[in-house]
Amino acid sequence: MAPSSPTPTKATDSIPYLYRFLLTSLEGPMAIGGVLLALFAPGQYLSGITRETLTTTHGPTDFIYTQLAGAWLYIVFTELVIMRAIDDVRVWKYLCAGILCSDVLFTHSLAEAVGGWG
């Protein structure tokens, strides 16, 4: 007889409501704003993160903003669809770890955009 797999711990039972609400209801729509800005107004996005040091994009590198928007859209989908559909705390931990990795690099890029950490 094969051993039974352990019953997954529900995210709704172990993750505080405020965190679940922020991840599945607030952060996604705010990130959609970033997706739209990167896709349709990359110069405005660039100006905002560089303290208006750079205000226009360079044509041959505009594809980077589409890539950025795609990465953010993946996070939006994860937060608004997957994290609502799967109520397993282990899955939530993995998804949040991936989002955190993305956020760490994004924060580092913001520091680079304004001249570094110093």
Assess if residue 75 is contained within a domain. yes
pLDDT in tens, 54-78: 888 888 989 999 999 999 999 999 9
- In this predicted structure, what is the pLDDT of residue 115? 86
* Gap between the Cα atoms of 76 and 99, Å rounded: 10
Residue 1 has a pLDDT of 64
Domain membership flag for residue 4: no
Kindly state whether residue 3 falls inside one of the protein's structural domains: no
Judge whether 38 and 72 are in contact, CB under 8 Å. Answer: yes
pTM for the predicted model, two decimal places: 0.85
The token duo for 32 is 């959609």
Residue 6 lies in a domain: no
Res. 103: pLDDT tops 70? yes
